[in-house]
Amino acid sequence: MQMSFVLLILLFIASGCTETITDSGLLYYKNDKGVVKPVRNKNDWEIKRTQILEGMQAAMGNLPEKRGLPDFNVIYLDTLNRFKHTRYTILFDVAENEKLYAYLYIPVDQKANEKFPAMIALHGTGEQGKNFLDGETYNRGFARELADRGYVVIAPDYPSMGDSKDYDFTTDRYESGTMKGIFNHIRCVDLLETFDFVDPERIGVIGHSLGGHNAMFLGAFDQRLKVIVASCGWTLMDYYDAGEKSTKYYGHRYAGWAQERYMPLLRTKYNLEVEKFPFDMDEVIAAIAPRAFFSNSPVNDSNFSVKGVKEGIQNVSKVYSFFKSKKNLKVVYPLTDHDFPLEVRLEAYLFIDKVIGSK
């Protein structure tokens, strides 16, 4: 019996199967035969990254192709002149019969032939939509603040909020509101690239709460973005806590994620069973690597547990180490609740400045 066990081990080693085979490691992928293998080079990583995006689309629906899209046909609805920037309310086409409302901020101090860096700014959940990002209260006015720092900023409404409050998810072509949001935000990048005053090599995204994980989703799918900032937007799914009130209202801890404006497939396809979910939030950040990622993860955030953030960052740091780019991964843990306080926003802005700021 003992000799048979030793022989089995020798045969296992001789076969070259000495790695720990696990589906959970971010630096493991499945080859074309379904065998789990370690990521050893950038080609392996591209396979892994593709598999992460496939997992996300399994929960969100497929990302539509961009072939045959109409012109943007931008309509400027109003103009607000301020000391350091001008804010326009715009409406433009993202696809056939699909329009998007947004604020567009343009700094006023432009030198001849100067190209500005640009940011997509994504708001949190609420009827105000993009208006959250223009105020001077509630610690949410980062669109306006970035414009005052010399960034072109586009701040779109998320479907069902702001000027898009009447959006009908039942008649659109998307399997989730999340994927509709991703497509909208990709088209925001496309629009920024058409402006001769924007440097297409210096574009990033920032968001809070709903906007925080939407910033991450956009960063995962669109590699043109050089810096991604997520405030209060994520934790590992095992640690997500909707809170007693929300859980009672929606009937399940994860049911809020499965609303039609987010990812209903988590209910209809995966029965809200977290162990069956086809992606996790650390994988989303891994798909961003080695680009710059900043997370504001408050210690007392009741929805997005800091414990799950710390575990997720430990996983993700291995990917950034693989790319020798750990300097591009930064997390701050302020002693506050679900908030984006001024001192943390300033730290995030300095992080953005180092990556895409004025040259």
pLDDT at 44 over 80: yes
Using 50, 70 and 90 to split pLDDT, how confident is the model at 38?
Answer: very high
pLDDT band at 259 (very low <50, low <70, confident <90, very high): very high
Q: Which residues contact 159 (CB under 8 A, 6 or more apart)?
A: 167, 169, 177, 180, 181, 184, 261
Place of tokens 């709460």: 209
Report pLDDT for 193.
Answer: 98
Given pLDDT bands bounded at 50, 70 and 90, which one contains residue 359? low
pLDDT for 112: 74
* Predicted local distance difference test score (pLDDT) of residue 11: 40
- Give the mean pLDDT of the chain: 91
Please give the average per-residue pLDDT across 247-253, as a whole number.
78
Burial of 85 (0-12, 13-18, 19+ CB in 10 A): buried
